[in-house]
Amino acid sequence: MEAFSIALASVWSDSGFTAFTGGNAIMVVVGILLLYMAIGKGFEPLLLSPIAFGCILGNMPKTGFTTDPGVMQVILYGIQHEIFPPLIFLGVGAMTDFGPLIANPKTLLLGAAAQAGVFVSLIGAMLLGFNVKEAAAIGIIGGADGPTAIYLTMKLAPHLLGAIAVAAYSYMSLVPLIQPPIMKLFTSEADRCIVMEQLRPVTKFEKLVFPVVVTIIVSLLLPPVTSLIGMLMLGNIFRESGCTQRLSETSENALINIVTIFLATGTGLTMAAETFLTLDTILIICLGLIAFCAGTAAGVIFGQIMKIASGGKVNPLIGSAGVSAVPMAARVSQIVGQQANPSNFLLMHAMGPNVAGVIGTAVAAGTMLAMLKG
């Protein structure tokens, strides 16, 4: 009996219950709530569900995830050494049609305008006491690009990864709820009813030249983001070449799905109670919302400027798609436009600034890395 008691005491002392804190319990509840949002409400389930479950796993004591060799350490290595974001960009490139942007290159300006939210949030974060590197990582949430946010955060402020990643992916999933009120605030009913002319056809040659030229120019200007832009454009080459169908299909399906599981789960693993349950986390989530709203507003306002300059031929709603949430932001432009005018079809026009936003957010991240890294 005494031997049984000793063995039982040994099992208990080795269990996670002895190190499970109130903070861990709170984070487990947070993980369950994120699971509910993902599965029960359908908010970006492919991303939020592995993040949520990773959060639960990351708050289990004595797992050895950060010290013992194993799959979890491999996943964390991929997060910490920026392996997964470029691979995600490879898949995104294979799924992206740059044709609308090539057909109407002026929409690149809308993608650039929407990055205003990044710098609004950066300034706000510095005013709240974050240092400039932390503020830059927080600001990139405004681009609504999760992989870029993770990439930049790991280089500038890795201790903020959990809060920034959750904020970025949460606001990406809430695009259909957050954007429409802002879009309607800065447009009139007549603005939203504007029907844009059909885009010109884009040749295969143009679609092949575009990724090569963009890669060369951006890489020479901003070497720190060459891996992101390079993989994005390589994926697009696979899509457009016509002779690499197997590579394109693998990149946009199997590979991106596998990497998404690792990236999102690894992000959740970083949400340990001791680093996540802080005042900084609350501030980051609030600043992220401000950044995202400011980016949406700036895109629509610049859309108004383009409407005036074009003599009323541009529907300013497409400016809201300048954030990087592809293709969700473009779909929201389409939905809001059709609510005002059922015969309106803005999706392809909105895809121009939407894919420009992906490039714009990467450029913004590269600019901040070039200025702050080291």
| Whether pLDDT at 245 is above 90 | yes
Structural contact between residues 162 and 267, judged by C-beta atoms closer than 8 angstroms: yes
pLDDT at 205: 96
**59 within 8 A of 276, measured Cβ to Cβ:** no
CB 51 within 8 A of CB 265: yes
pLDDT at position 104: 92
Bond into 201 cis (ω within 30): no
Q: What percent of the chain has pLDDT over 70?
A: 97
Contact yes or no for 271/27 (Cβ under 8 A): yes
Instruction: Look at residue 374 in the predicted model and tell me its pLDDT.
Output: 59
**In this predicted structure, what is the pLDDT of residue 236?**
97
Strand blocks (E) in 205-345: none
pLDDT class of 9 with cuts at 50, 70, 90: low
What pLDDT does residue 260 have? 92
Q: Which range, of 48-62, 154-168, 190-204, averages the lowest pLDDT?
A: 154-168
- State the pLDDT confidence band at 222, using cuts at 50, 70 and 90: very high
Check pLDDT > 80 for residue 11. Answer: no
Measure the CA–CA gap between 268 and 165, rounded to whole angstroms.
Answer: 9
pLDDT tens across 307-334, in order? 999 999 999 999 999 888 788 899 999 9
| Residue 82 or 97, more confident | 97
Least confident of 27-41, 160-174, 220-234: 160-174
Q: The pTM is what?
A: 0.89
Contact status, residue 346 vs residue 317, Cβ threshold 8 Å: yes
pLDDT-derived band at 10 (thresholds 50, 70, 90) equals low
Report the chain's mean pLDDT, rounded to a whole number: 90
Q: Which residue has the tokens 């590979």?
A: 255
* pLDDT of the residue at 341: 92
**144 vs 137: CA distance, rounded Å:** 12
Gap between the terminal Cα atoms of the chain: 62
Q: Mean of the pLDDT values across residues 23-38?
A: 92
What average pLDDT does the segment 10-34 reach? 86
Rounded distance between C-alpha atoms, residue 184 and residue 336, angstroms: 8
CA distances from 158 to 150, 267, 342 (A): 9, 11, 46
pLDDT of amino acid 267: 86
